[in-house]
Structure 1
Amino acid sequence: MTDLDAEQHARAVLEHACAKAGRDATDAEVVRLGENAIFRLTDGVIARVSRPGQLAAARKEVAVARWLESVDVPAVQVADQPDQPIDVDGRAVTFWLELPPHEHGSPVQVAQALRRLHGVVPPSDLDLGPIQPFVRLAERIERASTLAEADRDWLRSRLAELRKRWDDRPGGLPECVVHGDAWVGNVVSTADGRVVFLDLERVAIGAPEWDLVHTAIKYRSFGWIGESEYQAFRTAYGHDVTNWSGFELFRDIREFRMTCMAVQVASENHRAEEQALWRLRCLQGQHGARPWNGWSALP
């Protein structure tokens, strides 16, 4: 499916949902086409159109956003729309208040936001569930139409290995509320001085190290930040996940997830094929030891 096809399909879903919700989809502007299709409506509300089969995740995300607002943890806020998500042929549509201008959070800002989130008492009336480190990975591998079968077999074997290692993972810091996908694109600094969490569908109960490893691999695996930035991050949080015995496991799972995401995108957008294959070859040991150069944002 081309980007144009994906946009047309998502726009049709959006128009149907807006008709149900009493909102105007006329001239809705595409913000991003990715795991979700993101549109800006003319009233400043942001609409998210999920892939098929994500209704439960969207329900959870809406509930988590409302809970975080109630406990004063800055996060993206649900728009005034009582019946969310709206189901359109198995695709979930949700509506959100648009943030003011914002940029990726700095390592220190991410650390401070995570400390605040990790210290919140879990909700008594909302089952966040445990971390799900392997959600959607098998499906992404099976849909990897741009890969040779030998590469898909390698990914299947690697997934099985990681599952086994996860079952035997060591203990660490006390379990708490975690964001679940705490890369800097999901922890943003706004023009009005807030540091805000986005993409809340992976919020769960589990090891705080799961959130900390995102920033650690930016330094250790990809060289996206320098030593001083990482030192500032670990000082601001008060813990260095790279000294924990489970770090390599969490690192490996995160790198694998990033690779599977690239493989999925490449199946829909040929511009991502080179990046997907580069990531895969790194995991297979064909580009030497970490840090690996060449990991870049997906188109």
Structure 2
Amino acid sequence: MLAVDSFTPENTSNLLKRVCDRVGFDPVEAALLRHQTNAVYRLASDPAIIKIARPDYSIEEIQRTVDLTRWLTRMGFPTLPLMDIEQPIIIDGHAVTIWPYLPQSRPIGTHELADPLLALHGLQSPPIALEPFDAVAAIRYSLEAETLLAPEDHEFLSGRCNDLEVDLESVHFSTTPRLIHGDPQHGNALIGKSGIVLCDWDSIALGYPEWDLITIEIHSRRFSHPEQDYREFCRIYGRDIRDFDGYPVLRDLRELRMITTNARKSPPGSRSAHEVQERVAQLRRGEGDAAWSIL
């Protein structure tokens, strides 16, 4: 099994070939789409996407994603289904999943995420054991594992996490915990034959819908999506998270999690590492609305 620091495109391309050999696909000229949370390849000869999980994702976590996706599909929820192959596929301890490729003709607007997200928050709890959403624990896990940040930046982010954990105790949520996506955003949705479908369920959890709503708001603001489009999202969903008393705390925690997660995953010297370091510098300068580059 590859270690975290050897989870590189050169090594995952070899894993891709072995996956294709096992299921009868052709890996020639496969395109690498992403190499952050997962190694994501699009095959040239078959309409398929192959996702190879990072070494710090357990087989049990990917099995949960598979089971949850199949349950959502049975429920008729608008999700990208898995391909009809026994999954996950295990190659040298790495969990691999295979999905249909949906060609995309245009970017997805923020407002198009409202209906599927509202439907998700209205679902019953699935017959699958899910972890409770815990932003603080996720931040601390990433801080413990990262090797990118300067010591003073690491200490700054750790102290900020401690302060926000205290602030979170005073936040009063409006609903009981329920099924949430965990990372709903433009890059985790696709245009399907019948409309928008959600995908990338690796962060699914039981939690408060406010965590999903704050993620939408941050992605819209930080990645320069039109403000009018975000206001339309709020109209369709029926709520603007910026009106929530706990908005500043949830915003700061979610942004801190985005920074620390990418610090853990970004190789030193990479474009993503530079972006993480710039985000930390902005945070230290108090630039709360500075634009970020997508990773």
1:38-63 superposed Cα distances (whole Å, 9 cap, x missing partner): 11233222110011131222111111
- Structure 1 runs (4+) deviating above 6 angstroms are none
Q: Which residue of 2 aligns with 1:31?
A: 33
Q: Which residue of 2 aligns with 1:256?
A: 256
Q: Which residue of 2 aligns with 1:62?
A: 66
Superposed displacement of residue 182, structure 1: 0.6
Distance 1:22 1:229, change over 3 A: closer
Unaligned stretches of 5+ residues in structure 2: none
Residues 1:195 and 2:178 are matched in the alignment: no
Tell me the distance in 1 between the aligned counterparts of 2:78 and 2:293: 28
SS at match of 2:32: strand
Matches within 5 A, 1:65-214: 65-82=69-86, 84-101=87-104, 103-123=106-126, 125-134=127-136, 136-190=138-192, 192-214=193-215
Q: Which residue of 1 aligns with 2:217?
A: 216
Superposed displacement of residue 105, structure 1: 2.6
CA contact (8 A) 2:181 2:205 kept: yes
Unaligned stretches of 5+ residues in structure 1: none
CA contact (8 A) 2:70 2:82 kept: yes
SS at match of 2:135: coil
Distance 1:26 1:238, change over 3 A: same
CA contact (8 A) 1:48 1:95 kept: yes
Tell me the distance in 2 between the aligned counterparts of 1:205 and 1:147: 31
Q: TM-score, normalised by structure 2?
A: 0.86
SS at match of 2:54: strand
Superposed displacement of residue 227, structure 1: 3.9
Q: Which residue of 2 aligns with 1:239?
A: 239
Distance 1:37 1:106, change over 3 A: same
CA contact (8 A) 1:104 1:185 kept: no
Please provide the CA RMSD for this pair. 2.7
Tell me the distance in 1 between the aligned counterparts of 2:249 and 2:97: 34
Tell me the distance in 1 between the aligned counterparts of 2:188 and 2:67: 18
Q: Which residue of 1 aligns with 2:230?
A: 230
* Residue identity matched to 1:295: W
CA contact (8 A) 1:39 1:47 kept: yes
Tell me the distance in 1 between the aligned counterparts of 2:173 and 2:100: 38
1:142-169 superposed Cα distances (whole Å, 9 cap, x missing partner): 4543421111122222233334444553
CA contact (8 A) 1:144 1:267 kept: no
Tell me the distance in 2 between the aligned counterparts of 1:142 and 1:97: 36
Comparing 140-149 and 272-281, the one that deviates more? 140-149
Q: Which residue of 1 aligns with 2:16?
A: 14
Superposed displacement of residue 104, structure 1: 4.1
CA contact (8 A) 2:39 2:51 kept: yes
Comparing 150-159 and 16-25, the one that deviates more? 16-25
Tell me the distance in 2 between the aligned counterparts of 1:225 and 1:188: 17
